[in-house]
Structure 1
Amino acid sequence: MLRETFNEDAELYDRARPGYPRALIEDLARTASLDPGSRVLEVAPGTGKLTVPLAELGCRVTAVELGDAMAAVARRQLGMFPDVDVQVAEFERWPLPREPFDLVVCATAFHWLDPAVRVEKAADALAPGGHLAVVTTEHVAGGNSTTDFFNRAQACYERWDPATPPGLRLQEASEIPTDTAEFERCPRFGNVTVTRYAQDITYTADQYIDVLLTYSGHRALDSTLREGLLTCIRELIETHYDGRVTKRHLHELITAPRVEA
């Protein structure tokens, strides 16, 4: 399964993937009324990119991670926080504890969960008044003049990745729709709110290749095609962009309170 490819190189994932904007963390803490001792269930924490800031707030975090290698890195990153418990399990099958949580959160992984289970199980895990929070991440146009790079890189994808639609271009953030229908359909959740955050990150050619190697679609490519694609992109960065490109990430924080039964 594609969602299991991230576990193949957890160290690379931890090194290459960015964390989340401080403003997003602060808004999440405020919306969910997080205090030291708040009970948090994090689903699919990966190597702890969001878990660490939650632990720094003093939260008691139970993190349920599918990949054993990812969980091992997360435990190392969180070793100084005794109130964090990283468990290796499939969330859909993981038995919920009796004591409910104040927050259930999933960052950049909710789309990998079974849609027949994910929202209802999150509601089951929450105390009334607790919150479900989902963070989404998209790569969008913008950043700086190297937006042109992402258009030119399309030729590399069209040559080496047979699944690439011809003429594909990055969308502006304003063109990316927000989909909250799944949360709004569930009568166990109240008013859904969405906040957006842009994050620009500049990469060297090596760093950018590392980021690409953490994406499931790139990892799933035939090794010859993948090597050709990455070589093409590296040459483009080094030859035409002085060895550095800037990538704009669009993060959405979607939150909904659990209402009384």
Structure 2
Amino acid sequence: MLRDTFDGAAERYDRARPRYPRPLVEELARAADLGPGSRVLEVAPGTGQLTVPLAGFGCRLTAVELGPSLAAVARRNLVAFPRVDVQVADFERWEVPREPFDLVVIATAYHWFDPGLFLAKAASALRPGGRLAVVTTHHVAGGTREFFDRMQACYERWDPATPPGLRMPTEDETATDTGEFERSAHFGDVTVWRGAREITYTTDEYLDVLLTYSGHLALAEPARRGLLACLRELLETRHGGRVTKRYLHELITATRV
């Protein structure tokens, strides 16, 4: 299963994956009224990219992570926060505690779950009036556009699953369908916050990020080596060894009815 691939790259995942922008974290804290009295459940925290800033609000936080190596790195990153408990479990089989949570949050991992099952389980963990927060991360047009156009040839050569002529979508073309939240019998008051940012990487930093994506990790070794070599040559010879990538984040929130 593709979502199992991340655990084998836990240290690289921690090193390379960008943390979430402060405006998103602050909007989440505002929407959930986070503070020392809050009980928070985070699903699929990875190595703590969102967990660490949330823990900074002083809340009691339980993080349920499928991968034991990812969880171990998360615990290391959260050693300064004694009110955080990182557990290794499959959320779909995890036993929900009797005391309900004020917030259930999942960041850049919701797509790995069956929506109906996830929403029902998240609702069972929340108190009435508690909040569900789903953070999405999209790769959108922007930054070093010429590189992202040119790299298509590398992917078409080395990854047979690549659609021909693929291009990054614009922000206007990118939006998560919130219908599953709006139709859910468990939730109401659905809101969406959106924010974009750009990050500049060196060649090595960019290739490191790619090696935290499930599709790249799942490639056969010869194809992965060929793809990375092709991208490295393109970056070094045509773009001065640097690339700027644009990300679009969404924060979808809903209230437990």
TM-score normalised to structure 2 length? 0.99
Aligned residues: 257
Cα distance in 2, alignment partners of residues 192 and 42 from structure 1: 19
Q: Name the structure 2 match of 1:43.
A: 43
CA distance in 2, matches of 1:37, 1:85: 16
Q: Which amino acid aligns with 1:201?
A: I
The residue aligned with 2:23 is 23
- 1:26 CA displacement: 0.5
Tell me, what secondary structure is at the counterpart of 1:174?
A: coil
Please say if 1:127 is aligned against 2:107: no
For residues 205-260 of structure 1, the C-alpha deviation after alignment (integer angstroms, 9 at most, x for no partner) is 0000000000000010010000000000011001000100000011000000111x
Structure 1 partner of 2:167: 169
* Residue equivalent to 1:217: 215
Distance in 2 between residues matched to 1:195 and 1:163, nearest whole Å: 32
SS in 2 for 1:62: strand
Instruction: Report matched runs for 1:176-215 at 5 Å.
Output: 176-215=174-213
Q: Corresponding residue for 2:96?
A: 96
DSSP 3-state at the match of 2:244: strand
Q: State which drifts further: 113-122 or 75-84.
A: 113-122
Q: Aligned partners of 1:251 and 1:222: how far apart in 2?
A: 30
Q: Deviations over 1:47-72 (max 9, x none)?
A: 00000001001011000000000000
The one-letter code of the counterpart of 2:178 is T
The sequence identity of aligned pairs, in percent, is 71
Aligned to 1:228: 226
**How far apart are 1:115 and its partner, in Å?**
2.9
In the alignment, the residues of structure 2 paired with residue 246 and residue 202 of structure 1 have an alpha-carbon distance, to the nearest angstrom, of 4
One-letter amino acid of the structure 2 residue matched with residue 36 of structure 1: P
1: distance between equivalents of 2:17 and 2:247?
11
Summarize the alignment of residues 107-118 of structure 1 with structure 2, pairs less than 5 Å apart: 107-118=107-118
Structure 1 residue runs of 4 or more that deviate by more than 4 Å after TM superposition: none
Shift of 1:178: 2.5
Per the alignment, in what secondary structure is the counterpart of residue 13 of structure 1? helix
Residue 71 of structure 2: aligned partner: 71
Secondary structure at the aligned position of 2:92 is classed as helix
| TM-score, structure 1 normalization | 0.97
Match of 2:139 in 1: 139
The range that moved more, 55-64 or 177-186, is: 177-186
Equivalent residues of 1:129, 1:257 under 8 A apart: yes
Q: Give the 5 Å matches for 1:145-156.
A: 146-156=144-154
The whole-number CA distance in structure 1 between the counterparts of 2:2 and 2:75 is 23
Change (3 A) 1:126 1:184: same
CA offset at residue 119 of structure 1?
Answer: 0.4
Secondary structure of the structure 2 residue equivalent to 1:46: coil
CA distance in 1 between counterparts of 2:26 and 2:32 reads: 10
Pair 1:252 & 2:230 matched: no
Q: Deviations over 1:57-91 (max 9, x none)?
A: 10110000000000000000000100000000000
Between the aligned partners of 2:66 and 2:40, the Cα distance in structure 1 is: 17
Task: Measure the CA separation in 2 of the matches of 1:156 and 1:109.
Answer: 27
